[in-house]
Each structure stands twice: as C-alpha cells, then as structure tokens.
C-alpha cells in the first residue's frame, strides 16, 4: 500500500501504535527527525540519510580504469543515488593532472537525454525543477568560491524537451573543503576533485567528512588498500571498485550522519530488524515428582 502525504501523514505513521518498525531513506535532517520521533514512541527504526562519497586515487592506480570508474559512479542516474561518487581525491599533483586529462573528454562525451532514447543516453533528467535549480545554483557557487570548472554543464537544453529538468555534466577541479559544492550533497551530475598531497591527507579528508555512506580507493598496492579498509570510518568500502554496494546477503548501510539506527538494510540485519525474538520455556508434568523446586535446573 502506498500512502501519499506530507509531514502530517508521516507523523501519523510514526505515532500510530500499530506500527512497530519504521524504515526510511532520504535526506539527513529528515532521517534524524524520523528516527528520533519513531524511537520516542518505542518503535524500532532504521533511517538512512545523505552521502558525500569520496574516491581516493593513488599514484600507482590504473588511471584509465580510475577515470572510467569515476565517470560511471559520478554521473550514472544523473548523480541522483546515495552511492554516487561525488568527490575524487587524487594523491599528488601528477595524479590529479592525469585524472583531469582523462576525465574531461570522457565527461564531455556523455549523452544526456530522455530515457526513451534507450542505449543512446548515458543519463536523463533530474527529478524536479527545484532540484535542477538547486544543482545549477551550487555550480554557480563553486565558480564564485574559486573552484576550477573544467567541464561546464550549465545551460544545457535539448530540442523538443526545452522544459525538461536536464542538467549537463559538470566537473570541478581544485575544490577545497570550505566550498559549498564540497560541504553539500549536490545529488546531481557534478564531480568535484579535491587534490591531496599524501595518502594520509586523502584519508583524513574522507574521515573528517560528516557523511559515511560509501567510499573507494584505487591502487595497485595491497598494503595501502588494507590500511584504508581497516581505518576509514565509512560503512561500505570499495577497493578498485567505485560503488561498493554489497551483494544482498551482506548488509547495506552507512556510518556517521548517513545512517541512524543500529541495524543496516537487508542481509542478516534485515532479519533482526523485521523480526522479534520470542523465548518459550515449557515443561510437562507427566513423570515429574511432586514437591516444589527452588533452584534453576542445571545441565547434567
């Protein structure tokens, strides 16, 4: 059953005594609100919020494969997915320059259009006019705050779809953590590149971000990959894999402000979330001697 409505409808669900568990996927402020209200009413809740997924590219990585991965993970579904890679973090100036050299022609070659065009389209429109305006506004803010707009997707239009909610692909280089395009989840076809001088700086950047849904590292060194996987405070980690969505028998879920609740989606956690433990203690009186017992039964 689908129930349409706004905050009033949501609150009615959260306050209803017959509802025992609540799952949610959306923005972080709403996830936090729903989690708090559901829990205050004694309900079990798992609420998943925003993301700002980083992909570190080490100097020893295969640059062509890293560039292909960034294009697919950053611009697929017009960037409107919680596991999109929105921040590339190359380690070293040479790595950053090599990535830009490969990314720009790939991004400029992306085909934008209606999904009715089939395989001739790489991604379609964003969800609403408000989303389109917000994305374009964030691109403007990136330019104003000093980032290098190396691919400009502003002003994209398509003949016959002039009123469509299309946004062309954009890429920023030399982004810094104080810029709005870094701090906010754009949720659109925009890739930001933040240059790091060292692996430790790249790792710290990822760990200091308030979101912790997914992350990835591209490297040819197993020790670096293992160190990254062990230390990074993010829920889903990819090694030479840009969108680390686990198979369904594992659990999906982020850390930090990307998730509220102690259980993830699907996998073993789903069984725990959607079921309750019941313990039954029984005995039958046939063959039991009369008289009270005043101690717990012990194992023989």
Express each pLDDT in 64-80 by its tens digit.
999 999 999 999 999 99
CATH architecture of 53-239: 3-Layer(aba) Sandwich (3.40)
47 part of the active site: no
Question: Is pLDDT of 297 > 70?
Answer: no
Express each pLDDT in 239-257 by its tens digit.
999 998 888 788 888 989 9
- Confidence category of residue 117, pLDDT binned at 50, 70, 90: confident
Express each pLDDT in 22-34 by its tens digit.
999 999 999 999 9
Q: Which of 82, 89, 91, 216 is catalytic?
A: 82
Spatial contact of 149 and 139, defined as CB atoms under 8 Å apart: yes
Question: Is pLDDT of 230 > 70?
Answer: yes
Task: Characterize the bridge pairing of strands 85-90 and 214-218.
Answer: unpaired
What are the two backbone dihedrals, phi and then psi, of residue 212, each rounded to the nearest 5 degrees? -150, 50
CA atoms within 13 A on the CB side of 75: 30
* Total residues found in the chain within this entry: 300
Task: Characterize the bridge pairing of strands 85-90 and 53-57.
Answer: parallel
Residue extents of the structural domains in the chain? 7-49+258-273, 53-239
Q: pTM of this prediction?
A: 0.90
CA atoms within 13 A on the CB side of 72: 10
What are the two backbone dihedrals, phi and then psi, of residue 30, each rounded to the nearest 5 degrees? -75, -40
Considering only CA atoms, which of 94, 99, 243, 244 is closest in space to residue 171? 99
Determine which helix (DSSP H) or strand (DSSP E) holds 104, and give its type and residue range: helix 93-108
């Amino acid at each position: 059953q689908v129930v349409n409505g706004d905050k009033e409808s949501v609150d009615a669900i959260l306050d209803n005594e017959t509802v025992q568990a609540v799952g949610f996927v959306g923005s972080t402020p709403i996830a936090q609100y729903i989690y708090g209200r559901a829990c205050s009413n004694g309900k079990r809740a798992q609420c998943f919020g925003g993301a700002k997924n980083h992909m570190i590219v080490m100097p020893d990585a295969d640059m062509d494969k890293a560039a292909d991965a960034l294009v697919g993970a950053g611009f697929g579904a017009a960037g409107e997915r919680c596991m999109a890679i929105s921040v590339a973090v190359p380690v070293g100036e040479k790595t950053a320059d090599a990535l830009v050299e490969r990314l720009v022609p790939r991004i400029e070659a992306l085909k934008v259009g209606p999904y009715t065009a089939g395989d001739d389209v790489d991604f379609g429109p964003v969800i609403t006019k408000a989303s389109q305006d917000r994305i374009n506004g964030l691109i403007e803010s990136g330019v104003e705050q000093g980032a290098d707009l190396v691919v400009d997707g502003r002003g994209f239009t398509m003949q016959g779809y002039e009123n469509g909610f299309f946004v062309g692909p954009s890429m920023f280089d030399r982004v810094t953590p104080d810029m709005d395009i870094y701090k906010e989840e754009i949720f659109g076809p925009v890739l930001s590149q933040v240059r790091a001088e060292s692996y430790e700086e790249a790792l710290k950047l990822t760990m200091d971000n308030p979101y912790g849904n997914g992350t990835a590292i591209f490297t040819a060194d197993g020790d670096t990959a293992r160190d990254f996987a062990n230390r990074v405070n993010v829920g889903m980690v990819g090694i030479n894999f840009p969108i680390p969505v686990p198979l369904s028998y594992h659990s999906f879920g982020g850390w930090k402000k990307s998730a509220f609740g102690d259980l993830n989606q699907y996998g073993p956690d789903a069984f725990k979330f959607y079921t309750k433990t019941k313990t039954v203690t029984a005995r039958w009186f046939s063959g039991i001697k009369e008289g009270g017992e005043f101690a717990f039964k012990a194992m023989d």
